Amino acid sequence: MSEVIDGKKFADNLCAELKVEVAQLIANENLLPCIAVVLVGDDPASHVYVKNKVLRCTQLGIKSIEHRLPMETEQAELLALIETLNQDDSVHGILVQLPVPKQIDDKAVLAAISPTKDVDGFHIQNVGALAVGEPIMVPCTPLGSLMLLQDTLGDLSGKHAVIVGRSNIVGKPMALLLLQHHCTVTVVHSRTKDIEEHCRRADILVAAVGIPKFIKADWVKSGAVVIDVGINRIQEEGKSRLVGDVDFETVAPRAAAITPVPGGVGPMTIACLMYNTVAAAKLQRGL
């Protein structure tokens, strides 16, 4: 019987610890961690993500400031706001919810955020720091996935990790994190030949593809630990539901442990955003 990794419970426990730490920072250091969340346009999914992030901040005692800008906002206006937030010592984290409208270059936006306030970990300086094994701000989804893996397996040293997907926000930083933790890492993507063969050699299989139920049971080695990052909405038997990139029903019996969707990696992403915000506040205060 495989273990279903309870990401929601882990995230709730992490947030409970952070809440205590935030209260101590306020009481002992007069430091109130604060994140500014910038939302441009009216993408419905982005509004839901921002609402959930702000709600978590409130639960933990972290201050959040929302900046909602209209769809037609020019890039210069957004960059000016980011610069104001960079200069504001009471703001420790800056998050610009992606995607931004097409008149705005998202690379320019990410580059404008001060690296020490880059709680998403997407600034090229933070990407480079992770690449040389000296991470400062680590992207939230890979960080949350790593925490679940360490909780499940303990020491990851020597494990063969196969990551399906090479995006800048999940696949690549996941690969770098696992390398840093002494895994042997294989990254596969849309041009890889014989993906199934690579997957079958994985002690740790991380799926970040964006294709519902992409990973099948016979791609998974018996006893592997499977982390399903995918979040896909599908219609099944007339009903809409969320599924991952792994065919959970058939893969779960083969795996030693597997994250469900929903309730696996998803809750960890917001919990790690809170973790990074507290870390950014301490970093800027020299704590």
Q: Catalytic site residues?
A: 53, 97, 120
Tokens found for residue 227: 């982390």
Mask of contacts with ligand NDP, 17-46, x by CB under 6 A? Answer: ------------------------------
Residue 46 CA to residue 227 CA, distance in Å, equals: 24
Is residue 259 part of the contact set for ligand NDP (CB under 6 A)? Answer: no
Residues touching ligand NDP, count (CB under 6 A): 24
How open is the CA angle 80-277-76, to the nearest 5 degrees?
Answer: 10
Q: Are 33 and 278 in contact (CB under 8 A)?
A: yes
Q: Which residue is nearest to ligand NDP (CB)?
A: 167
Question: Of the two residues 260 and 266, which places its CB atom closer to ligand NDP in the complex?
Answer: 266
Residue 151, Cα to own-chain centre: how many angstroms?
17
DSSP code at position 172: H
Q: How far is the CB of 171 from ligand NDP (least distance, A)?
A: 5
Q: How far is the CB of 276 from ligand NDP (least distance, A)?
A: 14
Question: Of the two residues 83 and 197, which places its CB atom closer to ligand NDP in the complex?
Answer: 197
Residue 273 CA to residue 15 CA, distance in Å, equals: 10
Is residue 209 part of the contact set for ligand NDP (CB under 6 A)? Answer: yes
Question: Of the two residues 81 and 110, which places its CB atom closer to ligand NDP in the complex?
Answer: 110
Q: What are phi and psi of 184, to 5 degrees?
A: -90, 120
Residues between 133 and 192 with contacts to ligand NDP, criterion CB under 6 A: 141, 164-167, 169-171, 189-191
Q: Are 159 and 184 in contact (CB under 8 A)?
A: yes
Q: What are phi and psi of 120, to 5 degrees?
A: -85, -15
Is residue 208 part of the contact set for ligand NDP (CB under 6 A)? Answer: yes
Segment interacting with ligand NDP (CB under 6 A) among 46-54, 175-183, 206-214, 271-279: 206-214
Sheet with 3-4: list strands edge to edge: 3-4, 257-258, 225-228, 204-207, 160-164, 184-188
Residues between 220 and 249 with contacts to ligand NDP, criterion CB under 6 A: 229-232, 245
Amino acid at 236: E
Is residue 269 part of the contact set for ligand NDP (CB under 6 A)? Answer: yes
Question: Of the two residues 115 and 263, which places its CB atom closer to ligand NDP in the complex?
Answer: 263
Is residue 100 part of the contact set for ligand NDP (CB under 6 A)? Answer: no
Residue 20, Cα to own-chain centre: how many angstroms?
22
How open is the CA angle 25-27-30, to the nearest 5 degrees?
Answer: 65
Residue ranges in contact with ligand NDP by CB under 6 A: 141, 164-167, 169-171, 189-191, 195, 208-211, 229-232, 245, 265-266, 269
